[in-house]
Each structure stands twice: as C-alpha cells, then as structure tokens.
C-alpha cells in the first residue's frame, strides 16, 4: 500500500518550516511522497494575500529539488472553501489503494474539533502532529506525534519581514525569494 503524506496550507509564502516538517514526516513514517496542497479559501484562517496561482508556483519553486515532494492544485482548481474533507474524499476515490498521512502543526491540532466532518475525516486519514511554539500537541482525536526540531518560522513572519524590507535569507528557499521579487509580491 502506497503511503502518502499530505501537507495542506496557505503557503503564503512557503518557508523552511513547511519543508522541514514534510521531510521529517516522510522519513519518520516511511512515506513514498508528500503532496503539498495549497488551499484556495482556508475555512478557518484569514484569506491569503496572494493569488492561488502564485502560491502554487512558489510551492513548486520550494520543492523542485526534492523528488519525493509534489504539489497538487486540487483545492485551487475546485475554488470555494477548501474543506480537507472534500479534498480527501476525492483523493481517496482516485487512489483507493493509498494510505494517507495528513501532517499538521500544533496550531491546527488545537483546531481539529472545528474541522468540517472531522468525525468522518479521522477515519479517512492518519493525522500526524508536529510541535509548534505556543500550542499544545494535545487532541481528543487520534494523532501520531513526531518529534522534530521546533522551528519558529511562520508565513506571517516572512510577510512582515518582506514588507519591512528585512532579510528573509535562510528562512525561505532562494528560489522562492527570486519568484517573490520577480512578481513583486508582498510589497505595499
Ligand atoms: P500564516 O503565518 O500565514 O498563518 P503558516 O506559517 O502557519 O501561515 P500555513 O501554510 O498555513 O503556514 O501552514 C501549513 C501547515 O504547516 C499547517 O499545518 C501549519 O501548522 C504547519 N506549519 C507551518 N509552519 C510551521 C512550523 N514552523 N512548524 C510546524 N508546523 C508548521
């Protein structure tokens, strides 16, 4: 049975925290691939400040040198609210023989009870929780916890630094930085 990791997120922009948790989960859980799925409209978060197509391009730039990482445009193509339940229902239909591991940071773990159709979703995927500063990794739902280095980077922090013309070197991949500058993203 193919073991596939899923990392959903706004990726506005993708940063080294995303890449690190995907790679650590891949190794710890012996995943064949990790699919990055940029949300179109996050149900529980502020709207992305950047177009879906740009966020897909930035993820592609971020993962180009990891052959086990893929990007899926399923949520961007579907439009509307990006419920994980809908996404996973489709993916499971398409790849019935696969076992899906859904990777989430501790901020999302806290929010799990509010996810759309969570009681059915927990039967469809195995949740994998990773720590994030300021949040507890506790859940009434079954999650596998993997121990990774705590990495205090968020997209919010990157956006703030870019707006303030501060360096983001070593926080996001150089390829993502080049794309941001070319497209003049995150400028006022
Ligand atoms: P924002 O600051 O815009 O809210 P974010 O940095 O949380 O964004 P997302 O794209 O929303 O990034 O995150 C996608 C997934 O990656 C979520 O499950 C989130 O918890 C997790 N994640 C993001 N950054 C980290 C990090 N530094 N450590 C652990 N998990 C992270």
In this structure, the residue with its CA closest to atom 15 of ligand 1 is: 9
Render 31-85 in DSSP notation, one character per residue: -SEEEEEE-SB-TTSPPPSS-HHHHHHHHHHHHTT-TTEEE--HHHHH-SB--HH
- Ligand 1 pocket, residue 5 CB under 6 Å: no
Whole-angstrom Cα distance, residue 15 to residue 26?
17
Question: What is the rounded distance in angstroms from the CA atom of residue 119 to the CA atom of residue 2?
Answer: 24
- CA dist 32 and 65 (Å) reads 16
For ligand 1, the distance from its centroid to the CA atom of residue 59, given in whole angstroms, is 13
Pocket lining: 74 vs ligand 1, CB cutoff 6 Å: no
Model's pTM, two decimal places?
0.97
92 CA to centre of ligand 1 in angstroms: 24
Token look-up 């009870």 returns: 113
Cα–Cα dist 64/70, whole Å: 9
Nearest Cα residue to atom 20 of ligand 1: 105
Which candidate, 45, 179, 176, 16, places its Cα nearest to that of 110? 45
Contact 161, 167 (CB under 8 A): yes
Taking only the tens of pLDDT, the chain with its 188 residues reads 999 999 999 999 999 999 999 999 999 999 999 999 999 998 877 888 999 999 999 999 999 999 999 999 999 999 999 999 999 999 999 987 899 999 999 999 989 999 999 999 999 999 999 999 889 898 999 999 999 999 999 999 999 999 999 999 999 999 999 999 999 999 97
Q: Which ipTM score applies to this complex?
A: 0.98
3-state secondary structure of 127: strand
């Amino acid at each position: 049975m193919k073991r596939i990791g899923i990392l959903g997120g706004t990726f506005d922009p993708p940063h080294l925290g995303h890449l690190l948790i995907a790679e650590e989960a891949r190794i710890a859980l012996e995943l064949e691939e990790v699919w990055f799925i940029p949300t179109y409209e996050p149900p529980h978060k502020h709207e992305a400040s950047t177009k879906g197509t740009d966020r897909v391009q930035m993820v592609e730039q971020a993962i180009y040198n990891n052959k086990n990482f893929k990007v899926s445009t399923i949520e961007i193509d579907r439009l509307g609210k990006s419920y994980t339940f809908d996404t996973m229902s489709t993916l499971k239909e398409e790849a019935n023989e696969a076992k899906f591991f859904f990777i989430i940071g501790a901020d999302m773990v806290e929010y799990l009870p509010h996810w759309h159709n969570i009681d059915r979703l927990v039967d469809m995927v195995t949740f994998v929780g990773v720590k994030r500063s300021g949040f507890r990794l506790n859940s009434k739902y079954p999650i596998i916890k993997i121990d990774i280095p705590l990495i205090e980077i968020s997209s919010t922090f990157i956006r703030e630094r870019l707006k303030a013309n501060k360096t983001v070197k070593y926080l996001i991949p150089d390829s993502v930085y080049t794309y941001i500058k070319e497209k003049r993203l995150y400028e006022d």
